[in-house]
Amino acid sequence: MTLTPSQTVGPFLAIGLPWADGPYVVPEGTPGAITITGRVLDGAGDPVPDALVETWQADPNSRFNHPDDPRGAVTSATPGFRGFGRSATDQNGGFRIVTVRPGPLPTPAGATEAPHLDVSVFARGLLDRVVTRIYFADEGQANAADPVLSGIAEPERRETLLAEPARQPGAFLFDIRLRGERETVFFDV
Amino acid sequence: MKTGIVLPHYQRPDGVHPPLDYPDYRSSLLRAPTQPLVPMPQWLTEVTGPLLGPDRVTAGDADLTTRHAGEPLGERIILTGRVLDSDGRPVPDTLVEIWQANSAGRYAHVVDDHPAPLDPNFDGGGRCVTDSDGRYRFITIKPGPYPWRNHLNAWRPAHIHFSLFGRAFTQRLITQMYFPGDPLFAQDPIFNSVPDPKAREAMIARFDLGLTIPDWALGFEWDIVLRGRTATVFETEEHR
């Protein structure tokens, strides 16, 4: 069957997609919760105020409550863990996701993926979503062994995938540069 | 070392989706990445995904015509179809979200300055969950075409935005549904950004007299096909 092609979300996605609880992968006040904030920027370095950022991740015990995980679907030990986050950007291109740090994941060939979130970005001007990953800059050892990160030859390109710890405890910064200088690595999945 | 972890693998959508870099669509010029996409394996995070269902929907969300004090102006339509994967298997219990302009071609959004009237009885957002057969159904009004500033005398064909999750991160899709016979297709860079004519056709709903409710609403049918699974892929192939 012919696949349905992607089309841009256009400038008016705010009518249909944002949810009041979208940014909360875990309920507010969850012990150990972290906040990932950042900006979506265009090729001129200007904020993208009409984008949508979505995240998907394992729970802190490296599990998914999903039947296609061959290790079995598991209800997370973190109460209210949804795995999924969704944040529309504001006038400054800013987004915010409240979550818990995911655990590392085994690959079929026996390697280990460092803790990460898969990310989709939708916006006017993007005819298809762009996909990236958020890793954590303070997971140096795990990141060094991660097969996806290691597959990116240039260190400065790899760095675009690292969320940096901010001053406040539990806060991380992750900017998404759609184009141009320090362009974020985007994946073909 | 093998771990005994065997994962499903989702078909690559080669040649179906529009290129990100598509200068005819002016908004892409500052936003489309310039670096080639890096191939990513489909591992645990990619073959799973949010299973969003009834908890995201409240009664009445699938009827965009009864949410306000009065009825919206325009051509009332029934819009239904199935969410399938490319093997033809239905995707049940999955969230479908839509948004659209009103019958005059105006979005209920502060950024839309098209001088066409807003409709106090229409906000343009809707959602529902597919049934066990993968079927969704909305009641809405037919959106109007509207001008935009992409090029001189540019008009978008009438369309409804659709957001789909499927069951896996790999299947996530946001697209637009068009109406049959629209005279604006030929000049629309967004519609024509899809390279394959057959795939472009797949974005157009079909008018169905059988779905029409006599004396009340016209009926349109549109199936959505998400990436399906290929045969099991072994470890050596997982980087393609």
Residue A178 pLDDT greater than 70, yes or no: yes
- Report pLDDT for B73: 98
Predicted TM-score (pTM) of this structure: 0.96
What are the pLDDT digits (tens) for A124-162?
999 999 999 999 999 999 999 999 999 999 999 999 999
Q: Which residue of A has its CA nearest to B127?
A: A16
Measure CB to CB from residue A126 to each of B7, B20, B227 and give the nearest one: B20
The residue behind tokens 């896996």 is: B168
By the 8 A CB rule, do B78 and B137 touch? Answer: yes
Q: What is the mean pLDDT of residues A67-86?
A: 97
Q: What is the mean pLDDT of residues B213-233?
A: 91
Mutate to test the interface with A, among B9, B34, B35, B38 (most CBs of A within 10 A): B38
In a domain, B238, yes or no: no
Task: State how far the Cα of B190 lies from the Cα of B86, in Å rounded to an integer.
Answer: 23
Listed range (B1-15, B23-37, B133-147) with the worst mean pLDDT: B1-15
pLDDT tier, B5 (very low <50, low <70, confident <90, very high otherwise): confident
Residue B62 CB coordination number (10 Å): 20
Residues 6+ apart with CB under 8 A from B141: B64, B65, B72, B73, B74, B75, B76, B77, B102, B103, B122
- Domain positions in chain A: 13-177
CA dihedral (B126, B132, B134, B136) in degrees, to 10, reads: -30
What are the pLDDT digits (tens) for B36-60?
999 999 999 999 999 999 999 998 9
In a domain, B174, yes or no: yes
How many domains does one find in chain B?
A: 1
Measure CB to CB from residue B31 to each of A5, A7, A123 and give the nearest one: A123
User: Which chain B residues are within 8 Å of A46, Cβ to Cβ?
Assistant: 30
Residue A71 CB coordination number (10 Å): 14
Cβ <8 Å between A8 and B190: yes
In a domain, B82, yes or no: yes
Q: What is the mean pLDDT of residues A29-53?
A: 97
Residue B87's domain comprises 49-225
Cβ <8 Å between A129 and B174: yes
Give the up-direction half-sphere exposure of residue B104: CA atoms within 13 A in the CB hemisphere. Answer: 17
Domain topology for A13-177: Protocatechuate 3,4-Dioxygenase, subunit A (2.60.130)
Token pair in block for residue B69: 């004090």
In a domain, B115, yes or no: yes
Task: State how far the Cα of B107 lies from the Cα of B116, in Å rounded to an integer.
Answer: 9
pLDDT tier, B224 (very low <50, low <70, confident <90, very high otherwise): very high
- Report pLDDT for A167: 94
What are the distances in angstroms from CA A182 to CA A41, A51, B5, B38, B58?
11, 19, 36, 15, 42
Beta strands B9-10; A84-88: pairing state: unpaired
In a domain, B8, yes or no: no
How close does chain B come to A29, measured CA to CA in Å?
A: 21
pLDDT tier, B235 (very low <50, low <70, confident <90, very high otherwise): very low
Please give the mean pLDDT across all residues of chain B. 94
Measure CB to CB from residue B202 to each of A4, A42, A184 and give the nearest one: A4
The ipTM estimated for the assembled molecules is: 0.98
In a domain, B239, yes or no: no
In a domain, B150, yes or no: yes
What are the pLDDT digits (tens) for B84-105?
999 999 999 999 999 999 999 9
Task: State how far the Cα of B187 lies from the Cα of B205, in Å rounded to an integer.
Answer: 19
Listed range (A35-44, A52-61, B55-64, B224-233) with the worst mean pLDDT: B224-233
CA dihedral (B25, A48, A23, A60) in degrees, to 10, reads: 90
Mutate to test the interface with B, among A1, A2, A4, A159 (most CBs of B within 10 A): A4
Q: What is the mean pLDDT of residues B123-147?
A: 98
Residue B231 pLDDT greater than 80, yes or no: no
What are the pLDDT digits (tens) for B199-208?
999 999 999 9
By the 8 A CB rule, do B171 and B85 touch? Answer: yes
Residue A76 pLDDT greater than 80, yes or no: yes
Task: State how far the Cα of B93 lies from the Cα of B166, in Å rounded to an integer.
Answer: 9
Hey, what amino acid is at B8?
Answer: P
Domain CATH number, residue B102:
2.60.130.10
Query: Residue B198's Cα: distance from chain center in Å?
Result: 17
